[in-house]
């Protein structure tokens, strides 16, 4: 059995991390910024594992920037790095989601203007230029929530638009995206949606 990592931001915008071990015991919460360095008040967080390392992406509410750090197998953290300094400007990110495919970390983010972006962090630590998902997968209105999950070599992405509608697209291994599909058109109407989460089994 593997360990479970949890990251949480409190009402003061402080980021905490804990681990639930395979035997059911847990470690005390640790103050992430006490180890990575102070980066201001945080508003959103997402995590994904790549091998024994935990990758964490967070939105800095103070600066409006996307940040990334890694927790290594020995429990140490690297300093936060600014994603947009390498991947390009997202425009005031408001939501973030991450998933791992092999050694690569995939990140999706919705900015304050309701535009959905994607980038990949490669094994060597570099980031590819951010791509406009809707420019490739089609317009879906202003998305407000996003979730991602890996299924084999493909990245699945679900998004809720401003009208409360749930959409799905897939990014294939060659980097192309399929057109967004209306999930409720196939799965049935469930009213106006506010939050979404996805996972592979």
> Which three-class secondary structure string do you get for the chain?
CCCEEEEEECCCCCEEEEEECCCCCECCCEECHHHHCCCCCEEEEEEEEECCEEEEEEEECCCCEEEEEEECCCCCECCCEECHHHHCCCCCEEEEEEEEECCEEEEEEEECCCCEEEEEECCCCCECCCEEHHHHHCCCCCEEEEEEEEECCEEEEEEEECCCCEEEEEECCCCCECCCEEHHHHHCCCCCCCCCCCCCC
Is residue 87 in some structural domain?
A: no
Is residue 3 in some structural domain?
A: yes
Domain identity same for 50 and 9: yes
Query: For residue range 145-199, what is the model confidence (pLDDT) as tens digits?
Result: 999 999 999 999 999 999 999 999 999 999 999 999 999 999 999 999 999 999 9
**CA 160, 161, 163, 165: dihedral to nearest 10 degrees?**
-40
Domain identity same for 123 and 193: yes
Per-residue pLDDT, 22: 94
Per-residue pLDDT, 1: 62
Stretch 22-26: mean pLDDT:
95
Per-residue pLDDT, 160: 98
Per-residue pLDDT, 41: 97
Mention every residue, 6+ apart, whose C-beta is less than 8 A from residue 185.
none
Domain identity same for 64 and 98: no
Domain identity same for 78 and 99: no
Domain identity same for 104 and 188: yes
Domain identity same for 42 and 103: no
How many separate domains does the chain show? 2
Q: What is the domain extent for residue 54?
A: 1-82
Is residue 162 in some structural domain?
A: yes
Is residue 40 in some structural domain?
A: yes
Question: Pick from 129, 176, 168, 170: which is nearest to 145 by CA?
Answer: 168
Residue where one domain finishes, among candidates 61, 82, 103: 82
> Is this prediction's pTM over 0.95?
yes
Residues 183 and 167: beta-carbon distance below 8 Å: yes
Query: For residue range 34-73, what is the model confidence (pLDDT) as tens digits?
Result: 999 999 999 999 999 999 999 999 999 999 999 999 999 9
Query: For residue range 118-145, what is the model confidence (pLDDT) as tens digits?
Result: 999 999 999 999 999 999 999 998 999 9
Domain identity same for 114 and 181: yes
Q: Which residue has the tokens 């940040």?
A: 67
Residue where one domain finishes, among candidates 31, 56, 82: 82
Domain identity same for 66 and 133: no
Domain identity same for 147 and 195: yes
**pLDDT beyond 70 at 77:** yes
Domain identity same for 146 and 61: no
């Amino acid at each position: 059995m593997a360990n479970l990592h949890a990251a949480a931001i409190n009402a003061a915008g402080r980021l905490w991390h804990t681990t639930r071990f395979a035997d059911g015991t847990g470690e005390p919460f640790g103050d992430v910024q006490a180890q990575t360095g102070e980066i201001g008040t945080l508003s959103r967080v997402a995590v994904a594992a790549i091998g024994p390392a935990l990758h964490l992406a967070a939105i800095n509410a103070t600066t409006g920037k996307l940040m990334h750090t890694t927790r290594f197998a020995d429990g140490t953290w690297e300093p936060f790095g600014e994603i947009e300094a390498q991947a390009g400007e997202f425009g005031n990110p408001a939501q973030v989601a991450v998933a791992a495919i092999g050694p690569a970390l995939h990140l999706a983010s919705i900015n304050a203007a309701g535009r959905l972006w994607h980038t990949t962090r490669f094994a060597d630590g570099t980031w590819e230029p951010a791509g406009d998902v809707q420019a490739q997968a089609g317009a879906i209105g202003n998305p407000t929530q996003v979730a991602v999950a890996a299924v084999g070599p493909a990245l699945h992405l679900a998004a809720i638009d401003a009208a409360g509608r749930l959409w799905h697209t897939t990014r294939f291994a060659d980097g192309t995206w399929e057109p967004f599909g209306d999930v409720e058109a196939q799965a049935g109407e469930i009213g106006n949606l506010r939050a979404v989460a996805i996972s592979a089994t």
